[in-house]
Amino acid sequence: MLDPWSLGCLTVLAVCLIWLAVVDLRTGYLPDALQIALAVSGLAVVFIGSPIGISWQAALIGALVNGGVFWGLRWAVSRLKGREAMGFGDVKLVAAGGLWLGPWALPYIMAAGGVLTLAGAGIAGLIKGKPVWQGEMPLGPGLAAGILGTFIGGLAQLSWLILMPAY
C-alpha cells in the first residue's frame, strides 16, 4: 500500500505521461506545455522529497545527462539518415524523466522505450497487414512507459533497479 505522497506523485506522473503518449500517438507531437508540466512537477517532487529517494542534485544531473545523451543520439542518427530521425520532443521527454528519476534510470528508459516502440510498430503492422518500418514510429509512448515503469519499480524497491547508488 502506497502512502498518500507516493500515490500522489505516481498519479501526477502517470497522468502527464499517459496524456503525452496519447497526444504523440495521435499527432506525432509532444506538446511543450505538457512537457513543462512534467518537468515542473518533477522538480517540485524532488525538492519536497522524492518517494523513490532521488535528490535534487541527481534530478538536475539526470535532466542534463538524459537530455544530452538523447540530443546526441538525435544529432548522430539524423546525420546518418540525412533527415530528421527523432523529434526534439523525445529529447525533452527524456530530460524531464531525468528530473523524476535521476541519471541512473536512463538505461531502463532507453531499453523500455526501444522495446515497446518496436513492439508497438510490430503490432500496428499486424493490424494493418503490412510493415510500418518505413513510416514514422512515435518514440514518445515507449519512453513514457519506460519512465513510468521505472518510477513504479522505484516505488516497489526492486532490488535490481538502482536509481540512487550508494557512494
In the structure grid, which three cell numbers stand for residue 95, read together?
Answer: 530530460
How would you write the pLDDT of the chain (167 residues) with one tens digit per residue?
899 999 999 999 999 999 999 999 889 899 999 999 999 999 999 999 999 999 999 999 999 999 999 999 999 988 998 888 788 999 999 999 999 999 999 999 999 998 998 888 788 778 877 776 666 778 999 999 999 999 999 999 998 898 988 76
Looking at residue 128, what is its pLDDT?
78
Which pLDDT value is given to residue 72?
95
- Decide if 21 contacts 144 (C-beta within 8 A): yes
pLDDT at 12: 98
Burial class of residue 159 in the structure, from the number of CB atoms within 10 Å of its CB (0-12 exposed, 13-18 middle, 19+ buried): exposed
pTM value surpassing 0.85 = yes
Enumerate residues 6+ apart whose C-beta is below 8 A from 56.
43, 46, 47
Following DSSP, what letter does each residue of 112-167 receive, concatenated? HHHHHHHHHHHHHHHHHTS--TTS----HHHHHHHHHHHHHHHHTT-TT--SS---
pLDDT at 117: 86
How many CA atoms, within 13 angstroms, populate the side-chain half-sphere of residue 164?
A: 18
So what's the pLDDT on residue 134? 63
